[in-house]
A = this chain, B = another copy of it.
Amino acid sequence: MSYKSDIEIAREASKKPIQEIGAKLDIPTDHLLPYGHDKAKVSQDFINSVQGNTDGKLILVTAINPTPAGEGKTTTTVGLGDGLNRIGKRAAICIREASLGPCFGMKGGAAGGGYAQVVPMEDMNLHFTGDFHAITSAHNLLSAMIDNHIYWGNELAIDERRVVWRRVLDMNDRALRDIVTSLGGVANGFPRQTGFDITVASEVMAILCLATDLEDLQRRLGDIIVAYTRDKQPITCRDIKADGAMTVLLKDAMQPNLVQTLENNPAFVHGGPFANIAHGCNSVIATRTALKLADYVVTEAGFGADLGAEKFMNIKCRKAGIAPSVVVVVATVRAMKMNGGVAKADLGAENVDAVKKGCPNLGRHIENVKQFGVPVVVAINHFVTDTEAEIQAVKDYVAEQGSEAILCQHWAKGSEGTEALATRVAEIADKGEGNFAPLYGDDLSLLEKVETIAKRIYRADEVLADQKIRNQLKEWEDAGYGNLPVCMAKTQYSFTTDPNRRGAPTGHSVPVREVRLSAGAGFVVVICGEIMTMPGLPRQPAAEAIHLNDAGQIEGLF
C-alpha cells in the first residue's frame, strides 16, 4: 500500500474562498482582511464587537514527551477540530504560525499531516501574512534606537556592557549568535558584543501572543527592559521611546489569521513563541476570539505536557482568564515502544511488552494534567504498523489510570477517524466537570514557583540554584516582579533535564543555570540546561533542494 505525501494531499485540497470559511463563524466579509483568496485577518473592529458573546468550550491538545517516532499533536488538533465539525458542532482550531528559518534547515511544516492538515500549507511555512516579519521589524527598530541613543550622547546613561536587548532574524544563522557591532570608526557608534536570536525567541513575539489588545500590546512593549545603567537601574523600551512605533509596526500583525482545514473548517493560525524561553502557545487574541465565535475551540501547546500544557495553564490561561474544559493527551504506540526501550529502527515489529513498559511516561502526563483540575482523554494517534494487541495495551493502561484512551485515524481518514474522540470530548466538555486552577498562586516566591513545577510536574527531589541566581530572583521580587509566573526552559525529551532519560523518572535534581526577566511578556524565564536561541543549518540544508517545479509549484519545502 502506498501513501500520498502531505504536500500531495494538500495540493489536492478543494479550498473554499476564505469568506465562506469566515461565514461559518458569522464573520462578515467586510471584517475579513484577505491575503490572497485563502487567508484573511479578522479585523480588530469585529473582534471588539463580539466581546459580549458567550465563550465556547476550550479543548487543549498536548502530548507525551516527544520521541523521534513523532506523536502528531498538530495533526490531532486539526483532526479533532474536523471531527467536532463532522458530528455537527460549531468548532474552530487555534494553532501557532510556523517559523521560516527552520524550514530551510531540516524541520518540516507545522500544519498537520495526512488528511488532517491546515491549508495553504506552503504559505504557512513561508511568509504567510507577514506577522513574523512585522515582529522582526519591531524588535530590530528597538535595537537600532538603543544604539542610536548611545551614539547621540547617551542621555539615559546606558551601560554599554549591559545592553540586554539583542537583534533577531527569522533565519537559522549560527554566524550571528555572537557578534561585535559598530566597528569601523566614530561614525558607526561604540563597538560592543551582542548577537541575533531567531524571531520566534523575541520577547516581542511572546508579548504579541499574550497581549489582549493594542493598548495592552503597547504597555507591554513599553515595559521591556532593554539595558541597565552602571548602577543596575533598568532602562525600558518606553525610556527609548520606541513603544509607539513598534505598536504601529505590529498593528496588522495583532489581528488573528483565519485559514481552513482540508475539510474547510475554520482554523486560526496566529503567533508562535518559542516553547522553551517563551510559553509556546498561539496568541491569546486568537484563542479568545475563537471562543467568542465557536462553541468548541481546539488548541495545542508546544512540546510535551510537562512543558507545553504546564505553561499553557500556568501562563496563558492565568493571564488570559481562560480555562480548558478538557485536555487531550496525544500518544502513539510507537512512542510508547521507544519509551519502553525499543530503537527507532525496530519500531515496525509488534512488541506489546515494550508498549507496556513505556506507558508510565503517558501515565505521568495524565496525572500531571489532572492536578490542574481538568478532565483528561488520551488520543492514540494510529500508525499503520500498530497491532491490535499493542493498541489494547495502551487502552488498558490508561483505563487503569482512571482515564480513557480513544484510537484516532485522522491521518489516514480525516474527520471520520476522530468521530469517537470528538464525541467523547464534546460530552466531557458539555458536562462542565472541570474545575481549572493554575498550579501555584501569584504570591509564592519565584523560587517556590520553580520548586512547585519541579516537584509536582517533573517529580524532581530538588531544585539546584546557586546564590547568584537566588539573589537575582530576590532582586526582581524587590523590584515588584515577584508576582510573575515562571517560564521553564528545559529539554522537551524528558521529565528531567537530561534528554536521554525517557519514561517516568523520579528522584532527580533540576539545576537552574540562568534566569531572565521578560518584563514585557510578564514572566521570569528559568533556564535549566542548554537553550539555543539561534539555530544553525545542517550540513545539507533543506534549502538546497527547495525550488519551483515546472508547474510553478514549490518542491522540497516539507
Q: Which residues of A contact B (CB under 8 A)?
A: 30, 33-37, 44, 100, 104, 126-127, 130, 133-134, 136-137, 140-141, 143-145, 147-148, 151-153, 167, 169-185, 187-189, 193, 195, 214, 218, 241-242, 244-245, 247-249, 251-252, 536-537, 539, 541, 543-548, 552, 554, 556-557
A170 to B177, CA, bound (A): 20
Secondary structure class of chain A's binding surface, majority of residues: mixed
Give the chain B neighbours of A248 by CB distance below 8 A.
Answer: 126, 546-548, 554, 557
A-B contact pairs, 15 of them (CB 8 A): A34-B36, A126-B249, A127-B130, A130-B133, A148-B536, A151-B174, A175-B181, A178-B185, A178-B188, A179-B180, A214-B552, A218-B547, A244-B548, A245-B547, A251-B548
Within 8 Å CB of A189, what residues of B? 174-175
In the assembled complex, the Cα of A498 lies from the Cα of B193 at a distance in Å of 37
Q: List 15 extra interface pairs beyond A100-B137, A244-B556, CB under 8 A.
A: A44-B552, A104-B245, A130-B130, A133-B136, A133-B137, A145-B544, A147-B174, A174-B189, A176-B181, A178-B183, A180-B183, A218-B547, A218-B548, A244-B544, A244-B548
A140 near B193: Cβ-Cβ < 8 Å: no
Q: Are A179 and B177 in contact (CB under 8 A)?
A: no
Quick one: which of B170, B177, B541 contacts A137, CB cutoff 8 A? B170
Contact assessment for B145 and A548 in the assembled complex, using a CB-CB cutoff below 8 Å: no
With both beta carbons as reference points, the residue of chain B lying nearest to A546 in the complex is identified as B245
CB distance from A148 to the nearest CB of B (A): 4
Instruction: Please tell me if the beta carbons of B35 and A543 are within 8 angstroms of each other in the complex.
Output: no
A244 touches B174 (CB 8 A): no
Q: Are A242 and B543 in contact (CB under 8 A)?
A: yes
Contact status A179-B178, CB under 8 Å: no
Residues of B within 8 A of A33 (CB): 36-37
Which of chain B's residues have a CB closer than 8 A to the CB of A34? Answer: 34-37
Within the complex, what minimum Cβ distance (angstroms) separates A146 from chain B? Answer: 9
Pick the residue among B148, B171, B178 that contacts A174 (CB under 8 A): B148
Please, how many angstroms separate the alpha-carbon atoms of A251 and B36 in the complex?
Answer: 13
Q: Is the CB of B175 within 8 A of A546?
A: no
- Tell whether, in the assembled complex, residue B182 and residue A178 are in contact, meaning their CB atoms are under 8 Å apart: yes
Q: In the complex, which residues of chain B have a beta carbon less than 8 angstroms from the beta carbon of A181?
A: 175-176, 179
Q: A148-B174, A173-B143, A178-B182 are in contact. Are A247 and B36 (CB under 8 A)?
A: no
CA distance A180 to B126 in the complex (A): 29
Closest chain-B Cβ to A14's Cβ sits at a distance in Å of: 16
B174 touches A183 (CB 8 A): no
For the complex, give the distance between the alpha carbons of A240 and B176 in Å: 19
**In the assembly, what is the distance between CA of A173 and CA of B141, in Å?**
8
* Residues on the B chain within 8 Å of A178, using CB: 182-185, 188
Contact A137–B552 (Cβ < 8 Å):
no
When the two chains form their complex, are residues A541 and B145 in contact, meaning their CB atoms are under 8 A apart?
yes
Are A141 and B244 touching (Cβ within 8 A)?
no
- Do the beta carbons of B548 and A141 come within 8 Å of each other? no
Tell me whether B140 and A173 are in contact (CB under 8 A). yes
> Which of B127, B245, B539 is the one whose CB lies under 8 Å from A134?
B127
Q: In whole angstroms, how far apart are the Cα atoms of A145 and B175 in the complex? A: 10
Nearest CB in chain B: distance from A156 CB, A: 13
Residues of B within 8 A of A145 (CB): 537, 541, 543-544
Residues of the B chain whose Cβ atoms lie less than 8 Å from the Cβ of A188: 174-175, 177-178
Q: Which residues of B contact A544 (CB under 8 A)?
A: 145, 241-242, 244-245
